[in-house]
Structure 1
Amino acid sequence: MTDVEHDAELEDFLEEDADLALAAESADAVDIDSQLLQQVEVWTEATRGRERKLSARIQIPYPATFVWQVLTDYEALSDFIPNLKTSRRLEHPSGGIRLEQVGTQRLLRLNFSARVVLDIEEQFLQQISFQMVEGDFKAFSGCWQLATLQSDQPMTGLNYTVTILPKRTMPVALIERRIRRDLPLNLLAVLQRVETLCQGNP
């Protein structure tokens, strides 16, 4: 058997267990209000091979300046984003923004940890892009996009997109489903953090 055939066989074995793993962990799922979940739209875009691109959006009833403040407080992200264990600034060789983030998950009934080092590019009050320069995936990138919406009150549209290419030994189907489950939780966590911030800045 060639290495490629062995890798494909291993991937098939892992993905066959994906549904069983999610079902086994359902008792540990985060319990949140279904009405809040309905505020978040999640979708998957066309991908190639093992690459996965997922997006989500939510409307936040506060000005974009507050949303921006929350998203760019990089070392505080792990304080409120579910399953993000650490988020810390690293020295960037050309003076930009570089983050090391470590996420923790429970996959196939095992605790799974993934580390990424991301370079960040900011477009003030519009977009925060990130690109992996080192980490536990073959590729990992995405962006946060902000837009001021027409409304009777301040309203910010927040979109999040992530593109991920797992390594061959990672069960891509399970990772995709886990991301789909976590995206609404992450956006709702941002909403709640903005609410907390605004309550302290009347």
Structure 2
Amino acid sequence: MNITQMLENNRELLRDVQGSIEKLDGRKRRFSAQIQIPYSSKQVWQVLTDYEAFPEVFPNLKNIRRLEHPTGNLRLEHTMLKRFMGLDFKACMVLDVEEIGSNEIREHLVEGDFKEFSSCWRLTPISTLLEHGGVNLAYELIVCPKNIYPVALVEYMLSQDVPTNLLAISQRVKALSSIKNSQTS
């Protein structure tokens, strides 16, 4: 079963994702969401930093590749494809990625199909979640679409994609943990 089928079968789990949309100046929007994941920070971090596996995790991310960065840092090219009302919407962008410790990832647009795109993934351990702990995964995205994209359409699509992506990470961590547990039994 691929991640898209898994997510379709688990739509009720999207209720576990808390999110909001905030209108900023003009066409700019802030999307915030979070989910509690009953696995360790290390397990979630491994999924978040396995960039080459992202197309297997995120339903609308079709391609990702590492690019050379002038200072040796991490630079990724993303190609996203979303089908909406019978039409395919494609967005490409190059992002500089900064890993801060083992609990935060920041992405900043270098070039692409948005005027502005910056995001932050943040992990916060939760000791009260189950007996083994867990993690709160928070995501914040600030985006400003170029004028050729209607803001309402981008807002609608991202309001669907952001919670789905957090759920996809949770499902991926769960799947990898199950595989690891079955191999050690």
Q: TM-score, structure 2 length as denominator? A: 0.88
Query: What residue ranges of structure 1 are gaps of 5+ in the alignment?
Result: 1-29
Q: Which amino acid aligns with 2:118?
A: S
What percentage of aligned pairs have identical amino acids?
Answer: 45
**TM-score normalised to structure 1 length:** 0.81
Tell me how far apart the structure 2 counterparts of residues 169 and 123 of structure 1 sit (CA, whole Å). Answer: 34
What is the Cα deviation at residue 88 of structure 1? Answer: 1.2
Aligned-pair CA distance for 1:45: 2.6
Contact 1:128 1:145 in 2 (8 A): yes
Indicate yes or no: 2:69 matched with 1:92. Answer: yes
For residue 170 of structure 1, what is the aligned residue in structure 2?
149
> Structure 1 CA distance, aligned partners of 2:65 and 2:10?
31
Kindly indicate whether residue 155 of structure 2 is the aligned counterpart of residue 196 of structure 1. no
Query: Would the alpha carbon gap of residues 195 and 31 (structure 1) be closer, same or farther in structure 2, given more than 3 Å must change?
Result: closer
- CA RMSD of the aligned region, Å? 1.4
Q: Partners in 2 of 1:142 and 1:76 — Cα distance?
A: 19
Are the counterparts in 2 of residues 107 and 174 from structure 1 also a CA contact under 8 Å?
no
What displacement does 1:87 show? Answer: 1.2
What letter is aligned with 1:186? N
| Matched residue SS, 2:180 | coil
- Larger Rg over CA atoms: 1
What is the count of residue pairs matched by the alignment?
Answer: 173
Q: Which runs of 5+ in 2 are unaligned?
A: 1-6
The residue that corresponds to 1:185 in the other structure is 164
**Partner deviation per Cα, 1:141-179 (whole Å, 9 max, x = no partner):** 111000101222221000011111111111111110111
Asked if 1:117 is matched to 2:98, the reply is no
